[in-house]
Structure 1
Amino acid sequence: MTSDLADWTGPVRADLSARLEPNIDRPLALALSGGGDSIALLRLAADWARANGRRLLALTVDHGLNADSAEWTAFAGRVAREAGADWRGLRWNGPRPATGLPAAARMARHRLIAEAARAAGARVVLLAHTADDIAEGEVMRAEGSTLGRLRDWAPSPAWPEGRGLMLLRPMLGAGRDEVRDWLTGQGAGWIDDPANEDPRFARSRARASLLPTGEGGAQRRMRVDQSNGEAAPGHPTLTLSRKDDGCAAVRSSPLPAGEGSITIDRSIPPQTLAAVLVCVGGGDRLPRGDRLSAIRSRLRSGEAFTAVLCGARVEAGSDQVLVTREAGEFVRRPRPPMPLTVGVESVWDGRWAITVDSPGWFVVPAAGRMAALSDTDRTALKRLPPAARGSVPVLIRNDATAPVLAGKAGRAAALVEERLALALDRMTHERDLGGAIHGASPRNHLFSG
């Protein structure tokens, strides 16, 4: 193997060392399809893990979309163990949509990997996207796709399954051909998924359009990676520049700890405002561009106003701009009480992690129930702005008539600030990341672009 074939591996190893903690008893997760890109990353990550006292956990998702998928999964498990990694196979058993199958499979893959990684105690998942994935994404966006741009370090798009979990893509500077040349030089094999050359799919068409042509115009065939054929979804406006990322325009609200409201400056950049609205609102859908622009224009004008977007309420006054959860949504679209399981941390409204130690508890919003709270609890709520009070979680029980604040009957922690910090690139190293949590399935991806 010539030295120039190995040039791309140096930056990959350097990126692993720059982002990850050495010598800790916490596994490093890796998405392993068995395709060439992921096999190469497996080998490099296994070397790094051995040299740095880390356990490596390879995770393979069987989508059940190909007759050979079980064989592919077994192959991935075999090569993972040969590399010295632990391995776990995961299977997508959800419904298959008639349209948008690649996107649905991608969403399921992120959810399954996030759940397995968090359950194992991992805080970082390695993904083997390459420079070719970036180029293919540009072609797809030029043709009208809303696919997000890949980042080397980005939050997991699965919310809330992937809370506090980061994705590291250390191979974005490498080309697919040179990765496979390197594998060939090592005598390594990999899987070819024929779906990656199926012209019915936008990713395959973009890939084919970038292939060089040979004699007679015939395109050169490439062996491609199954799991990394589709870039993670997201939105380009959430890719913040290091020079001006808008973080200075965001501050925690001067309210009781963990309340989950955010104060912002009127000069806040649009991408930062979008992230604030989604995180405070607890959802995972970005605001429409025209509605976001309208709010930002009103902020810059100095106007005093109230507006609601993405489930968040923007109250712009003369002295501050406060963003809180819009409690009126609980009244307009009532939800059934969410049951809580003893000792299991559950996510409510995409904003709160709640755990109880005794059975029979359900979580509901304070909206419509504040009059039934105890005098002590009502006094605690009065420290919050009126607009924020109804969105606070309270607990009700089968054998009790009066609700209680979630933090009194159980443990409750707001997720808004941590999620926003991840979205705004304020946590740049594995050591910065928090603990594990599990919750409901995501509807759409947000912070992976």
Structure 2
Amino acid sequence: MAVSGGGDSIALLHLAHEWAAAHGRSLAVLHVDHCLNPHSRVWHDRVRDMARRLGATFHSARWEGPWPDTGLPAAARAARHARLAEMARAVGARVILTGHTADDVAEGRWMQAQGSTLGQLRDWSPSPAWPEGRGLMLLRPLLGERRTDLRDWLKARGIDWIEDSTNVDLRYGRSRARLALAEGEQAPVPQQDRPAPSTGMTADEWGVVRARRETDPRTLAFGLVVAGGGVRPPRGDRLARLAARIAAGGNFTAGLAGARLIAATDGLMLVREAGDYRRRGEPVRDLIPGAEVVWDGRFALTVDEPGWRVTPLSGRAARLGRADRAIVAGLPAAARPSLPVLIRDDEAGPVLAQSRARVEALAACRLALGLGQVKHEADLKCRREWRTDGRAPIL
């Protein structure tokens, strides 16, 4: 679980410790030092010592910037989630507990009403970090509890916690929200921000996403992010225009969020926008034998031999071998340029990555997590991997 040292996370730490002891589960405490407070090292040590007293393992990471001139809370939040995900994956965890409460939900609603792009807190949701958080879920079991009640519970047991001075610093939206709600303002009821559960959106082992034309805009936005391998959803105005074109019934192609949408009579196909490589540069990664590399936010690759690097197929199809050309010919034309291929240091190749590496297509699992199709920790076995011969998928 993630433990900052504040009252909410300390309360959950003790509750989780009791639950883990009763159910024979191990507990790993993850702490992120943002290096923004002069007392952060003291907080680190206090969380470490408490974890050890409870018999939990302790793991920590630091965020040493660079810190932006604006949007610092959002940058810190993104860095925190990325580091929590990295630590969780390192210890073999699939679920991260966090101590968010009903007060956090109300404050988030107030901030959204003021124009914040914060998402709605849910009790069970995928890690927002990508690709670090792939296959990880966040569990927030205290969303029905009030902050004051948790502190009363800690006081009754003689348990101390840390008070962060930034919680009353009105330069930050969270602090302004706390003050406004304490003075009697009401948090508005939020609009639903979870993509609607949909069995009509699927992804195959090549990262091609397919959906019905009737797919709601929020789900479509998520599908575009998945197909494009990115994190940031498309702007509302651009998404609205795209949804209107789809609803009008015509067949067309359009690029958005790093993905290309092909609207046809029988449905929608979403693939990586190869033209994005020309604007931003091709994603080229050197591969180290035995070390998994996430490429283009869409595939995880592992090679056994040294000297390979991965790059898009775009502009290299004519140099593929006969067997690889046959595979590519059977795929949608729009999906071909963004396929991962391997090239050796001596410029030998290219070869389809699936022909020489262990390749996990991340789109199907990411869709399942983001569309609410994973209901329990036991369901987090959505890994698809291709055999090194490039033919039969292993489920």
Structure 2-normalised TM-score?
0.92
Which of 370, 381, 384 pairs up with 1:423?
370
Gaps of 5+ in 1: 1-29, 214-234, 437-449
Q: Secondary structure at the match of 1:47?
A: helix
Residue 239 (structure 1) aligns with? 194
2:120 is equivalent to residue 156 of structure 1: no
Q: Secondary structure at the match of 2:338?
A: coil
Residue 362 (structure 1) aligns with? 309
- Counterpart of 2:140 in structure 1: which amino acid? R
- Counterpart of 2:375 in structure 1: which amino acid? T
2:268 is equivalent to residue 321 of structure 1: yes
The separation in 1 between residues aligned to 2:177 and 2:104, in whole angstroms, is 10
The separation in 1 between residues aligned to 2:136 and 2:309, in whole angstroms, is 27
2:69 is equivalent to residue 98 of structure 1: yes
Residue 287 (structure 2) aligns with? 340
- Counterpart of 1:379 in structure 2: which amino acid? A
Indicate conservation of the 8 Å contact 1:38/1:127, yes or no.
yes
The structural deviation recorded for 1:434 is: 3.6
Which of 79, 83, 101 pairs up with 1:130?
101
Residue 277 (structure 1) aligns with? 224
The separation in 2 between residues aligned to 1:336 and 1:137, in whole angstroms, is 36
Please show how residues 128-207 of structure 1 align to structure 2 within 5 Å. Answer: 128-207=99-178
Which of 314, 319, 341 pairs up with 1:372?
319
Indicate conservation of the 8 Å contact 2:365/2:382, yes or no.
no
Q: Secondary structure at the match of 1:335?
A: coil
2:17 is equivalent to residue 70 of structure 1: no
Residue 222 (structure 1) aligns with? none
The separation in 2 between residues aligned to 1:66 and 1:320, in whole angstroms, is 52
- Counterpart of 1:322 in structure 2: which amino acid? M
Residue 35 (structure 1) aligns with? 6
The separation in 1 between residues aligned to 2:343 and 2:191, in whole angstroms, is 41
Q: Secondary structure at the match of 2:104?
A: helix
Residue 202 (structure 2) aligns with? 251
Distance change >3 Å, CA 332–CA 187, structure 1 → 2: closer
Distance change >3 Å, CA 62–CA 435, structure 1 → 2: farther
Structure 1-normalised TM-score?
0.81
Give per-residue Cα distances to partners, 1:53-107, cap 9 Å, x unaligned. Answer: 1110001111112221111111111111222211122211221222222222111
The structural deviation recorded for 1:293 is: 1.5
Give per-residue Cα distances to partners, 1:140-159, cap 9 Å, x unaligned. Answer: 11211111110111111110
Distance change >3 Å, CA 114–CA 236, structure 1 → 2: farther
The separation in 2 between residues aligned to 1:212 and 1:237, in whole angstroms, is 26
Residue 26 (structure 2) aligns with? 55
- Counterpart of 2:282 in structure 1: which amino acid? R
Residue 411 (structure 1) aligns with? 358
The separation in 1 between residues aligned to 2:283 and 2:246, in whole angstroms, is 36
Q: Percent of aligned positions with the same letter in both sequences?
A: 53
- Counterpart of 2:222 in structure 1: which amino acid? A
Aligned residues: 378
Q: Secondary structure at the match of 1:286?
A: coil
The separation in 1 between residues aligned to 2:158 and 2:197, in whole angstroms, is 47
The structural deviation recorded for 1:393 is: 0.2
Indicate conservation of the 8 Å contact 1:246/1:268, yes or no.
no
Distance change >3 Å, CA 74–CA 435, structure 1 → 2: farther
Give per-residue Cα distances to partners, 1:203-234, cap 9 Å, x unaligned. Answer: 11111112258xxxxxxxxxxxxxxxxxxxxx
The separation in 1 between residues aligned to 2:142 and 2:192, in whole angstroms, is 23
Indicate conservation of the 8 Å contact 2:120/2:193, yes or no.
no
Indicate conservation of the 8 Å contact 1:373/1:404, yes or no.
yes
Q: Secondary structure at the match of 1:248?
A: coil
The separation in 2 between residues aligned to 1:258 and 1:308, in whole angstroms, is 22
Distance change >3 Å, CA 435–CA 170, structure 1 → 2: same
The structural deviation recorded for 1:399 is: 2.5
The separation in 2 between residues aligned to 1:407 and 1:70, in whole angstroms, is 45
The separation in 2 between residues aligned to 1:141 and 1:128, in whole angstroms, is 20
Residue 88 (structure 1) aligns with? 59
- Counterpart of 1:36 in structure 2: which amino acid? G
